[in-house]
Amino acid sequence: EVQVVESGGGLVQPGGSLRLSCAASGFTFSSYAMNWVRQAPGKGLEWVSGISGSGDTTYYADSVKGRFTISRDNSKNTLYLQMNSLRAEDTAVYYCAKDHTFGGVIVGDYYYMDVWGKGTTVTVSS
Partner 1 sequence: QSVLTQPPSASGTPGQRVTISCSGSSSNIGTKYVYWYQQLPGTAPKILIYRNNQRPSGVSDRFSGSKSGTSASLAISGLRSEDEADYYCAAWDDSLSAYVFGAGTKVTVL
Q: How far is the CB of 49 from partner 1 (least distance, A)?
A: 9
Write the CA distances from 122 to 13, 43, 94, 108, 113, integer angstroms.
Answer: 11, 14, 7, 28, 21
**What is d(CA 107, CA 119) in angstroms, rounded to the nearest whole number?**
25
SS3 state of residue 86: coil
Q: Of 113, 120, 122, 124, which one interacts with partner 1 (CB under 8 A)?
A: 113
94 binds partner 1 (CB under 8 A): no
Nearer to partner 1, 37 or 86 (CB): 37
Residues at the contact surface with partner 1, assessed by CB under 8 A: 35, 37, 44-47, 50, 59-62, 95, 100, 108-114, 116-119
